[in-house]
């Protein structure tokens, strides 16, 4: 139906997520409520009927593992091609590597670590409607930090962290300014010519680039070809397209199509607006200029459109790109955003697999998950935590605000709080963990 190709950038074994990721568990396969995080994106795309996907993974090994999992899980549902790229090529590099596979008019690029319920179809439709060269999904940045777990380090970060500075037109459809990365913490520098073109610019610090973009394919390929130093979509390609939108320098084949498009005539329209402002006071000049300029190729200002799709505040949108995010997303998916998990919750608002065994006086609170085959001893207490498959947990164990992956053994009297315990870890008696990440390697 829609001529869209989808590229999912699934990353590799991101250092930022150490020690959670490993050779065995690349980032894409990190569990969120006991499902690989990549499954959230794939199912989101599937729900918008986008089933032709290219999944790009950094590193051969990781690609093999991800590919293996996908072919097992989605064999009849999706048509997925998995491509491996070298590590550290950046998102732009990853796209360069698969550029020759792209043939559709538009390309939807999604980060594999996105956990969201914003329909990609809506982003694609906005993109098409405006004839934009790029449309990016913006969502509300999380306002408050993590809940009561409140690790001090986390709090500091939340105070400081601002994701993007975004400039929008009064209708909030055009993306007129974006600052990403280190620039976000600096003074805001707005291009005057862009402000003049719109008259009013809304500058916001409460939105973040959710790393879902619709690109016009030819433009994307041109930029990737011409700007070989561009490393990142978010920090290089997108800001570049945004800041050059009133004087596009994308080569002809990318651009003329835009101009032919009824939506793309911003330039000549602008020109007429300029002129008409002066029609009253300088009628002769008006005629002359109109004759001189409007669409002759060397004079017309070439422009292109960058658009934004702003997800409504009620939508969930998060990227699993830090340990903090890992904990938060796991908490949310069985908590406030439980519809994302795909599980059905019990009347106590938790999920306890029928095969799980609980000792006497053991309580599992709301917003918890206990997966198949796990056993818990007596007088245990689990609050706002996720426990994976086939875990052995002794008596008098308290687990709060934590994620416990598969095949973990926790002996009697342990206290686990605000922590992540990776698969195959063994905790002996009376271990106290607070805000820790434990991995067997």
Partner 1 sequence: MAQKKGHRSLSSDDPEELARVPLQAVLLADSFATKFRPITLERPKVLLPLVNAPMIDYTLAWLESVGVEEAFVFCCAHSQQVKDYLNKSQWMKQPGTFTVQPIESHDSISAGDALRVIYNLGVICGDFVLVSGDTISNMSLKEALQEHKERRKKDPLAVMTMVIKHSKPSSLTHQTRLGNDEILMAIDPDTKELLYYEDKTDQSQRFITLDKMLLASTPTLHLHNDKQDCYIDICSPEVLSLFTDNFDYQHLRRHFVKGLLVDDLMGYKIFTHEIHSSYAARIDNFRSYDTISKDIIQRWTYPMVPDVQYFGNCSQMKLDRLGIYKAPEVDQSRTAQIRAFSLIGNGTAIGDHSVISNSVIGQSCTIGRNVSIQGSYIWDNVIIEDDCKLSHALVCDGVHLRAGVVLEPGVILSFKVEVGQKIVIPAYSKVSLLPQPSKQDSDEELEYADANSGVVESPSITSIANTRNVDPVPDSPDAEHSDTSEVGISGVGYIWSTTEGGHEEEWRHSIAPIPAEKLMEFCLSAHTDLGVSNQDVNSLPASGELQLDSESTGFDDGEDYKDSADFEKEVEATFQRVLAGVNPENVILEINSLRLSYDMSHADCAGSLFYSIMKSALSAPFSSNRELLLNTGKELSRWKDLLKNCLKTIDEEIEVLLKFEEMCLETTKEFAPLFSAILNHLYEKDILSEDAILSWAEEKEGADESDKVFVKQSEPFLKWLREASEDEDD
Q: With CB under 8 A, what is the number of residues at the site for partner 1?
A: 61
Bridge pairing between strands 35-36 and 357-358? unpaired
| CB of 5 vs partner 1, minimal distance in Å | 21
Question: Does residue number 204 form part of the binding site for partner 1 (CB under 8 A)?
Answer: yes
Decide whether 72 or 199 has the Cβ nearer to partner 1.
Answer: 199
| CB of 299 vs partner 1, minimal distance in Å | 7
Q: How far is CA 163 from CA 91, 133, 147, 151, 406, in A?
A: 18, 23, 19, 20, 33
Tokens (6 digits) for 388: 């994976």
Decide whether 4 or 163 has the Cβ nearer to partner 1.
Answer: 163
Q: Which of 64, 158, 190, 436 binds partner 1 (CB under 8 A)?
A: 190
Question: Does residue number 246 form part of the binding site for partner 1 (CB under 8 A)?
Answer: yes
Q: Which of 96, 243, 315, 353 binds partner 1 (CB under 8 A)?
A: 243
* Spatial contact of 177 and 167, defined as CB atoms under 8 Å apart: yes
Taking the C-alpha atoms of residue 74 and residue 420, their distance in angstroms, rounded to an integer, is 28
Please list the alpha-helical segments (H only) found in 48-89: 60-73
Taking the C-alpha atoms of residue 153 and residue 324, their distance in angstroms, rounded to an integer, is 10
Question: Does residue number 310 form part of the binding site for partner 1 (CB under 8 A)?
Answer: no
Q: Which of 47, 49, 193, 346 binds partner 1 (CB under 8 A)?
A: 193
Question: Does residue number 92 form part of the binding site for partner 1 (CB under 8 A)?
Answer: yes
Smallest Cα–Cα separation from 116: which of 368, 305, 400, 309? 309
Determine how many CB atoms are found less than 10 A away from the CB of residue 100.
8
Decide whether 11 or 131 has the Cβ nearer to partner 1.
Answer: 11
Number of residues that make up the chain: 441
Contacts of 197 (CB under 8 A, 6+ apart): 246, 270
Question: Does residue number 281 form part of the binding site for partner 1 (CB under 8 A)?
Answer: yes
Select the span of 64-72, 184-192, 254-262, 358-366 touching partner 1 (CB under 8 A). 184-192
- The residues of the shown chain that bind partner 1, judged by CB under 8 A, are 88, 90-92, 162, 165, 167, 181-183, 185-193, 195-197, 199-206, 227, 229-236, 240, 243-244, 246-247, 249, 270, 273-274, 277-278, 280-282, 284-285, 288-289, 292-293, 299, 301
């Amino acid at each position: 139906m829609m001529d869209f190709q989808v590229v999912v950038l699934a990353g590799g074994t991101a250092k930022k997520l150490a020690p959670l990721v490993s050779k065995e568990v690349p980032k894409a396969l990190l569990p969120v409520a006991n499902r690989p995080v990549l499954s959230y994106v794939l199912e989101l795309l599937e729900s918008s009927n986008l089933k032709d996907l290219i999944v790009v993974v950094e590193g051969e090994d990781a690609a093999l593992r991800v590919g293996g999992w996908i072919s097992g899980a989605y064999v009849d549902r999706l048509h997925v091609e998995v491509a491996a790229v070298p590590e550290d090529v950046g998102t732009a590099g990853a796209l360069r590597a698969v550029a020759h596979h792209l043939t559709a008019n538009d390309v939807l690029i999604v980060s594999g670590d996105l956990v969201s319920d914003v329909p990609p179809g809506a982003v694609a439709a906005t993109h098409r409607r405006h004839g934009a060269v790029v449309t990016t999904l913006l969502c509300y940045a999380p306002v408050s930090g993590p809940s009561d777990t409140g690790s001090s380090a986390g709090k500091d970060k939340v105070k400081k962290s601002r994701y993007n500075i975004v400039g929008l037109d009064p209708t909030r459809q055009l993306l007129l300014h974006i600052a990403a990365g280190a620039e976000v913490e600096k003074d805001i520098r707005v291009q005057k010519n862009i402000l003049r073109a719109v008259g009013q610019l809304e500058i916001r610090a409460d939105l973040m680039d959710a790393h879902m973009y619709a690109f016009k394919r030819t433009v994307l390929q041109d930029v990737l070809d011409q700007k070989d130093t561009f490393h990142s979509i978010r920090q290089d390609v997108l800001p570049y397209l945004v800041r050059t939108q009133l004087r596009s320098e994308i080569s002809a084949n990318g651009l003329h199509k835009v101009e032919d498009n009824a939506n793309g005539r911003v330039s000549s329209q602008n020109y007429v607006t300029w002129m008409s402002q002066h029609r009253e006071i300088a009628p002769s000049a008006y005629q002359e200029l109109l004759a001189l300029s409007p669409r002759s190729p060397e004079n017309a200002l070439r422009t292109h459109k960058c658009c934004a799709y702003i997800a409504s505040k009620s939508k969930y949108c998060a990227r699993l790109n830090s340990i903090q995010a890992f904990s938060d997303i796991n908490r949310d998916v069985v908590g406030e955003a439980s519809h994302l998990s795909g599980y059905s919750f019990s009347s106590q608002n938790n999920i306890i697999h029928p095969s799980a065994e609980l000792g006497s006086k053991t309580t599992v609170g709301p917003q918890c998950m206990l997966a198949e085959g796990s056993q818990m001893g007596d007088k245990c207490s689990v609050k706002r935590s996720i426990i994976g498959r086939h875990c052995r947990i002794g008596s008098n164990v308290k687990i709060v605000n934590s994620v416990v992956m598969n095949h973990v053994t926790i002996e009697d009297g342990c206290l686990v709080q605000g922590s992540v315990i990776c698969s195959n870890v063994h905790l002996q008696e009376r271990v106290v963990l607070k805000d820790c990440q434990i991995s067997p390697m």
